[in-house]
A and B are shown apart, each in its own frame.
Chain A
């Protein structure tokens, strides 16, 4: 966030907001009053990123977007203000800064948890289907924990104990990647409070490599 914002005169403030709003309206669906998936796709192409790029997810996180595929005006305003951008070019530059911000340990877990919540599209939905989870894992953790994620995704696809993953299991995937040595899995203790799905994964891995 640019420190300068707080010292700018009110006139400039309103001007800044105007630009943000104008940017909003470029992509918003007028009848809905918010940016819908089409708009996001357009935004992405203008930004030069694929709409499945993890940076868009990060943007959503920064905007604290509630509903997947939609940005409300409030979210847009608050988010862009927090990023300190009011134009497309500035937004483009901010995206790489955003990546660094997310990677900060204090933010990462928050982002990770957000990523799961973002997938809960239905009301009262508590779990996400395996297919989507695999994609999400790849997107969110794939770069940092490539071997673990590849292996875990393979397992998730072949097992049939679980058809959906809940938030508890989700958060433990991250902890697993961070804490357990790979690929030996030496320090994994199934008698501890790991979710059963990871116990099963470890067993599967150990059988595979025996």
Chain B
């Protein structure tokens, strides 16, 4: 027909015929009842497709020539369009189709089984008819209805479930929808429907879930519900600010608990226990972040900043951490494998990094290390050195050079003693055995030189050593640090029982007096030994008032030492141990006045550091305004401590007075470096 120029007639004939045919089909579909509707539609559609194919084949010539020339719709497409217009968009069918499809989905959501294959065919049909058909006729309404459905359901759930249960349900629904899409919807619908679920089930109820009493985020953390937490993380990740919410709530919880811990006087009584608690806390949160929060870096950072915040709330944190390390290096790490030692030290380093006042830590660490070295009480030399290396890596050479100096002194002293004994061995004979540690003044924590009269026997050998040492090291000065030494005494008591007493030097001086007298008054002891009052009282207390260690007897038998006390050698002393340790050399947390003193010294030490920083900065910049100086100084010193802006200002003024700096005459905000 085309060839004979009847193309138009053919085409319009096709249209008319198909249209009327489809109208009939439409009627038959409409007639189908209930569940058969879809079935009928589907069947007719399949038939139509087959027919279309055939028609296209038959009319191929027209399709290829007449239609392009006249810009008419190609046969196949025409067939689809007609199907769409006559059937799908027919008034009766359109709304019914939509309703049935949505009803099926609803049924499936309530747990019923539906014919997924059929659904698939129908949606595919809609997609074949054009993406806008699928979207306008189905998807749009599908999403709306789903939103309503989930809004209701989530409201129900939130009233009746606890957080963990709710999340499980939400997760299940989410997975369901994804699966639904894969089975009978267009893949592009997936992100849209999941969005709906996320909005209705998660985003709308985010806050309520997190804050839920007895089951919310905090409870999950406390009870270590890793699975629930992981689920929350995955779900909340899908909505904007979901993770931010979790992170914020967690952070403020950590800060609060941390703050409580840091300000609880009960907790602070035992520094070692306190620090252990901190480490446990960190471990707990680390575990949560690794197992439930996928090692999320933002969470790690939040955790770190929280710890940094509350650790520095207590000004004694540096001291306590040092005491913790001291305890471990003294006894805690005995018998622990090298690996575990490293693990523990690394954890300690992590706490160290949080400290703002690292210079305070340094001060205490030095003190405690000194005590450990001098009393020979370190569990592992390797562990000590390992920690020093870690500190050096973290803070640089200056931090650890003095500490290393202390180790060197110990080693050198050993060599010195060997030399001394070699040359004086014969001299000593029956006399007391002396062991000296020579400490380089700059490396060790400063100690006051106290008065103390050593017993004659000791003086003798001390002098011998002094001469020996100064003989080989001219130009040096030696001062005996009687407040830091120890002694081992062989004591024989009333019934002949012998014990070896390990005591401090002060205690030795006191006890030796009893070789010549059975009873001595406090005043007499004080006079002869010239030991400072505070130390003497503490010393006598440890010799006379401690159960199991009372080698001295005190009259009257009260707890405190007073000037009017009298002391007697306790003949009746017994102990089941041969060796008895009475000396008090272990590091303890400082008393309040001692703490104040240390703090003052730290403040004094900081002044020159601040000034040096100011001068360095001004030398480089020549002219700078006040705020920038403060910022730069803070930056330069932050690895050691956080300088107080008021102190910085004071130092600037001091430098102005000493004519290192001047104020700019023109601009009042500026300072100028004076060469």
Contacts and interface: CB of A to CB of B under 8 A. Distances in A.
Interface of A: 126, 166, 168-169, 175, 179, 191-193, 195-196, 199
A168 B656 contact: yes
Contacts of B650: 196
A8 B354 CA distance: 83
B671 A193 contact: yes
B646 A193 contact: no
Nearest to B646: A196
A193 B657 contact: no
B241 to A, nearest CB: 35
A191 B627 CA distance: 6
Interface stretch (B165-173, B221-229, B662-670): B662-670
A199 B650 CA distance: 11
B166 to A, nearest CB: 50
Nearest to A109: B665
Nearest to A161: B650
| Pairs A-B, 5 closest by C-beta atoms | A193-B626, A196-B649, A168-B656, A166-B657, A193-B669
Contacts of A196: 646, 649-650, 653
Contacts of B603: none
A208 to B, nearest CB: 20
User: Interface on chain B toward A: helix, strand, loop, or mixed SS?
Assistant: helix
B627 A168 contact: no
Contact of B653 (A191, A192, A195): A195
B605 interface: no
A192 B625 CA distance: 8
Nearest to A172: B663
Contacts of B669: 192-193
A141 B12 CA distance: 109
Nearest to B671: A193
Interface of B: 625-627, 630, 645-646, 649-650, 653, 656-657, 663, 668-671
A84 to B, nearest CB: 31
A168 B653 contact: yes
A120 to B, nearest CB: 13
B626 A191 contact: yes
Contacts of A192: 626-627, 668-669
Nearest to B661: A168
A135 B150 CA distance: 82
A179 B668 CA distance: 11
Nearest to A169: B653
A168 B674 CA distance: 15
13 contacts: A191-B626, A191-B627, A191-B645, A192-B626, A192-B627, A193-B626, A193-B663, A193-B668, A193-B669, A196-B649, A196-B653, A199-B646, A199-B649
A168 B627 CA distance: 19
Contacts of B653: 168-169, 195-196
A199 to B, nearest CB: 7
A168 B653 CA distance: 8
Nearest to B670: A193
Contacts of A179: 668
Nearest to B645: A191
A175 B668 contact: yes
Nearest to B650: A196
B623 to A, nearest CB: 12
Given A168-B663, A192-B668, 14 more contacts: A166-B657, A168-B653, A168-B656, A169-B653, A175-B668, A191-B645, A192-B626, A192-B669, A193-B626, A193-B663, A196-B646, A196-B649, A196-B653, A199-B646
A199 B657 CA distance: 18
Name, among B646, B650, B653, B671, the residue most crowded by chain A CB atoms within 10 Å (CB to CB): B653
A99 B46 CA distance: 114
A157 B656 CA distance: 24
A193 B653 CA distance: 10
A199 B669 CA distance: 14
Contacts of B656: 168
Contacts of B670: 193
A199 B647 CA distance: 12
A196 B650 CA distance: 7
